[in-house]
Structure 1
């Protein structure tokens, strides 16, 4: 933070998202310090809350605890949800997905029950979603409108509650954007450039993908194990008896998730985590289809399985996707041994413990886009009062002799040793602290 709750850092406008997520991170860092736990705990708690929401929604709409458990486990075994920038890192999208899931399911309750408080609650949740990640929090809107008519509930829109909720949402967002523009003129232009017109109309930063990219990702990786059951559930559930929970859920999820996929397909800048909000809804749809098939088979065979048998059946269904997810997470963990700069945090902590007198040094950068060294640099400066200067590869030769430099990776170390005679001060894995002596 820049010491001002309205802004992240002066005078940068590159991150033009609203401040709810940075505020939560600031609170977490205040309580836990600038640590990995402080960075990742808010996202982990948001993911846990989303999983519990899916479980409760499954119990409600699928009519049993095993339906809720199956939906929650499907979500946790979906590679599109448990991935970088969503639940695996301290980014915006885990919290965004929590709010959009709550908002969508609360709107479904409004359509089913007609209680005004559910419309107000849905408006609040979508305000929080937009206050987390701007326009991304509102992309369910067209799908919610389509679902309203697909469920035959257009009369719900003739009540004042939904429109007053929308008005309150827009008023709250307008107030924020006005305050933020006043704090730093040019903010609204940055919002257009980096969040609205820029990503929608242009493929920014080299993210060149085809219009069907999200669909193929869904089939090949992100929802690979569950896509066929989800499609069957949507197809069969669409024609269930009117008013049945299965029909309401199926039509709702097909409209909302399908609309978001279409919007993302025609947005020019496409990133892997943009579709994260659909996975809780798809998990519920998939669980609905699997549960209906299981009940049909049980009825035909005159089976009356007890709780233990039903639990075993759920475990059997998710066993293979769960194993695959564990393997994916293991590969994710192993990346720290493939990208040397991911080890810099451990080295800096070890250095602070074993060499407490070392408080001023340089930190060598590689050419890989990676925020990890940036985080650990800031953490050590705040925790230990270190003075750290980052050195990109093009400025290696400009570093004064006699100084200490932290270098991670054999290739980067060789680049420094071509420019200086060095003395090894400390080593952990492929990270070293070198003293720069005379030039060769």
Structure 2
């Protein structure tokens, strides 16, 4: 049942949602270029290096895309590893919860993780975070086995080997993030118990050897190919640059992740207060201590780091899902101050649920009123929007029903409704908001041009990686002079695209080069990465060989 509901919650929309900017577009385009060039060591986005994270995510997406067309594979092929990783994380969480609290806890924890917003999003996006989550869950499940072992120093197989194998793959996917999570868990466990026996059971030297065996071959290869460029960018700029200050305007004060939890872990957050009360009441039990050591130190570290995004604390959510499931499986009722915490959290859940339920109609209405000159409502938006609102309000009722009597059976009903809500949103509502996907619209408009086997495209004023993925690796992302120079250089098969911001500068540049241009098409969109509307105009040179199909 957990597997079926996980697939139902995480799969719809994986092929319908257009390429998302910016990280997904960057990952997908860099992976595509690997297959185009045959270079599976270096990581590049067009001519620029992309050394923020190691190679693991790209290799996973290459393996998937090669099964469905290689460099020409659709975006869902690049997303498939994230989906499978999300399912693995859900099943691993269910397995661990079942061994801590019984079958009912296993079902509850698996479902709550599967339908959480952050896992639902990351499992549909061609990025690294769902893959990292799967590695963390597998490693922590093995670590829990070791924490419960009675052997002073077990042989290096079974749980120790699984732990280090998952750690090694996690490092290859996203660097030392998994090391931070498991390392903080181990340190907190040893300090809390004043016992270092867990360190002996881990076979640390052998484990580091496994990690080195997995990671060092690629690290040596890219160092030979690029010198110290990868290490300088990955460690010096990408990792350390996020600690002291907000990277790329993603800074936020401490407390951000606690607030974000009510959306990222929705709908399971409705019992987060009760879960905290259970953790406190049963803090002397080894299994509860393990879950606290897993979640609290990592959560606090990410609160202290300057750069913050909602998915950063996702590796702690399996532990929170298990604690929440134990509330359901044991019928725990918070007492004293925890009762008030539970009531406040339940009230926040109701507010968040109403807000999410109204998104399918509030979103189009916002664009219609805020950008009236750009937006045109279409009937297929409302066809999906109103049923989604109805299901969203039904989730509110189911949540209140769960709060009145906290049982796993009621959470199953809640999870089914949430899976239906996601299906409507990700398969229907979001993909049909055409204003949100200017790159897709641009690719569709350019595809109506025929007459040249090989077209050259230069875009000015819009530099999102999704456009490169749709239009081809050789798509230029330059300035007005570059766009005008393309039509001068290749008047027969050149295509220039200018935004409203750069339109006058482009026309002036074209005139200075004595290039006569004509407008082929124009459309409006919304660049959500910048939070600004954008109007794109497609220009062709006079005498072009390109014609509308």
Deviation of the 1:43 alpha carbon: 1.5
Range that drifts further, 130-139 or 148-157: 148-157
Q: How does 1:28-39 map to 2 (within 5 A)?
A: 28-33=64-69, 34=72, 35-39=74-78
What's the C-alpha RMSD, in Å, of the aligned pairs? 3.8
SS at match of 2:203: helix
Deviation of the 1:95 alpha carbon: 0.8
SS at match of 2:495: strand
SS at match of 2:520: strand
SS at match of 1:214: helix
Check if 1:143 corresponds to 2:185. Answer: yes
C-alpha separation in 2, matches of 1:110 and 1:214 = 30
Check if 1:156 corresponds to 2:198. Answer: yes
Report if the CA contact (8 A) 1:29-1:38 is conserved: yes
SS at match of 2:254: coil
Q: In the alignment, which residue of structure 2 is the partner of 1:212?
A: 255
Q: How does 1:35-46 map to 2 (within 5 A)?
A: 35-46=74-85
TM-score when scaled to structure 2?
A: 0.64
SS at match of 2:456: strand
- 1:368-391 deviations in Å (ceiling 9; x for gaps): x5321111233xx6xxxxx64445
The equivalent position to 2:161 in structure 1, one of 90, 106, 120, is 120
SS at match of 1:131: helix
Q: In the alignment, which residue of structure 2 is the partner of 1:370?
A: 464
What is the total number of aligned residue pairs between the two structures? 407
SS at match of 2:120: coil
Deviation of the 1:108 alpha carbon: 0.7
Unaligned runs of 5+ in 2: 1-33, 335-406, 511-515, 526-534, 544-549
Q: In the alignment, which residue of structure 1 is the partner of 2:170?
A: 129
Report if the CA contact (8 A) 1:424-1:434 is conserved: yes
Check if 1:98 corresponds to 2:134. Answer: yes
Q: CA distance change for structure 1 residues 39 and 345 in 2, over 3 Å: closer, same or farther?
A: farther
TM-score when scaled to structure 1?
A: 0.78
C-alpha separation in 1, matches of 2:164 and 2:225 = 27
Report if the CA contact (8 A) 1:75-1:283 is conserved: yes
Q: In the alignment, which residue of structure 1 is the partner of 2:245?
A: 202
Deviation of the 1:318 alpha carbon: 3.3
Check if 1:405 corresponds to 2:443. Answer: no
Q: How does 1:194-343 map to 2 (within 5 A)?
A: 194-219=237-262, 221-240=263-282, 247-293=285-331, 312-318=409-415, 321-322=418-419, 325=422, 329=426, 332-343=430-441
Q: In the alignment, which residue of structure 2 is the partner of 1:47?
A: 86
C-alpha separation in 2, matches of 1:148 and 1:228 = 31
C-alpha separation in 2, matches of 1:326 and 1:102 = 28
- 1:255-290 deviations in Å (ceiling 9; x for gaps): 212111111122222233322222233222211222
Report if the CA contact (8 A) 1:366-1:392 is conserved: yes
Report if the CA contact (8 A) 2:291-2:323 is conserved: yes
Report if the CA contact (8 A) 1:19-1:131 is conserved: yes
C-alpha separation in 1, matches of 2:319 and 2:433 = 30
Q: In the alignment, which residue of structure 1 is the partner of 2:231?
A: 188
C-alpha separation in 1, matches of 2:196 and 2:438 = 56
Check if 1:58 corresponds to 2:97. Answer: yes
Report if the CA contact (8 A) 1:340-1:408 is conserved: no
C-alpha separation in 2, matches of 1:109 and 1:153 = 16
Q: In the alignment, which residue of structure 2 is the partner of 1:299?
A: none
SS at match of 2:148: helix
Q: CA distance change for structure 1 residues 196 and 435 in 2, over 3 Å: closer, same or farther?
A: closer
C-alpha separation in 2, matches of 1:281 and 1:399 = 55
Q: CA distance change for structure 1 residues 281 and 409 in 2, over 3 Å: closer, same or farther?
A: farther
Q: In the alignment, which residue of structure 1 is the partner of 2:11?
A: none
Unaligned runs of 5+ in 1: 297-309, 382-386
